[in-house]
Amino acid sequence: MTPTAKTTPPGGKHETDVVVIGAGPCGLFAVFECGMLKMRCHVVDVLEAAGGQCVALYPEKPIFDIPAWPRIEASELIDKLVEQAAPFAPAYHFDQRVETLADSGDGRFVLTTSAGTEITARAVIVAGGVGAFGPNRPPLAGLAEHEGKSVFYLVSRREDFRDRRVVIAGGGDSAVDWALSLAEVAEKIYVVHRRDKFRAAPENVDRMKALATSGKVEMVIPFQLAGLKGDNGELSAVTVSSLSGETRDLAADRLLPFFGLATNLGPIADWKLELDTHRIAVAPDSMTSSRDGIYAVGDIAHYPGKLKLMLTGFAEAALAAHSAHGRVHPGEALHFEYSTSKGVPGS
């Protein structure tokens, strides 16, 4: 059975070696790398569970570029990373955001979170992906009443949409990918977009249009969302309008608006770090930021020539852990050993 990332109760004061901000793939692998170097970790994430964007946006979508895994679903990858980190007993602080970071005066950092948790550590690894993020919400009256009941910004389980009449709005990869996937289980799929051109993989757009030709998907183009109909948060129809003012009511009980994410660095922007286009500038050989003891890995880290792939982030996590070792264990020589000879606790 795969270990779960158990939540530490909010509040209280804690001391550790490294605080990892972000429990996405790169943050979880940073925990493993730190553990291999005998460094204890606390992990803070604004979401309610480990996984970052993999779980929040596409848990059931396959990933094809993870070494040794020709195909693995995003949620399964997160399960494996949690299992890999588990021997080092990380403490997870979910559903809270790091609000402040201050010097303790003895070479350590004191971090406080939105839940009142205080963590003192010698090093900080920021693995916050694109920063704090949330969906771009369509400007529809009564939207909040329907959110979480019949309007969703992500698909956690395809089965939740079986035999449903689903309106998917948007023209990017998320809209097209989920139209293809949910067409296999839903009673009806409408794709609403304001123009015929989609910002998605061409082969997937062609597949979606082929489904439209066969009648499994109805393309509602050029239209945009205009209103919601229903009672007590349950949809009965979604109103759409064309640029010329024509309106239609689409009989539906689920709406998936995929208009991208609104992202920002949040409090990290006030930590006196050198930034480059809203990302943390780091030295590529160590992942060190402009502030000694703070490192960044994954999408939030920037340096010339960076390749934005998950496997790049994994390598960055290893570099950050090795760089942090000197701060956590000052004066102690780092004798690098391969995992094949070193093993992990309990192996």
Record: fold of 13-133+262-342: FAD/NAD(P)-binding domain (3.50.50)
6 CA to centre of own chain: 18
Kindly compute the dihedral angle of the four CA atoms of residues 137, 140, 145, 148, in this order, to the nearest 10 degrees: -40
Write the CA distances from 343 to 8, 77, 337, 339, integer angstroms: 27, 21, 9, 5
- List pLDDT tens digits, range 300-309: 999 999 998 9
> Which residue did the predictor score with more confidence, 47 or 156?
47
pLDDT value at residue 130: 58
**Beta bridge partner(s), residue 250:** 238
Range list for CATH 3.50.50.60 in the chain: 13-133+262-342, 137-259
pLDDT in tens, 186-218: 999 999 999 999 998 899 999 999 999 999 999
Structure tokens at 39: 């460094």
- The span from the CA of 335 to the CA of 272, in Å, is 33
Amino acid at 135: P
Output the pTM of the full model: 0.73
What end-to-end distance do the CA atoms of the chain give, in Å? Answer: 16
- The DSSP bridge partners found for residue 300 are none
Region 151-162: what's the mean pLDDT?
89
Single-letter amino acid, residue 143: L
Q: Which of 226, 150, 222, 215 is nearest to 187 (CA)?
A: 215
Give the β-pairing of 294-296 and 123-126.
parallel
Containing 44, the helix (H) or strand (E) segment is: strand 41-44
Rounded Cα–Cα distance for residues 26 and 313 (Å):
6
Q: Which residue in 143, 123, 145, 126 sits closest to 135, CA to CA? A: 143
Identify the architecture of domain 137-259 in CATH: 3-Layer(bba) Sandwich (3.50)
Average the pLDDT over 4-25 and give the result. 91
pLDDT greater than 50 at residue 1: no
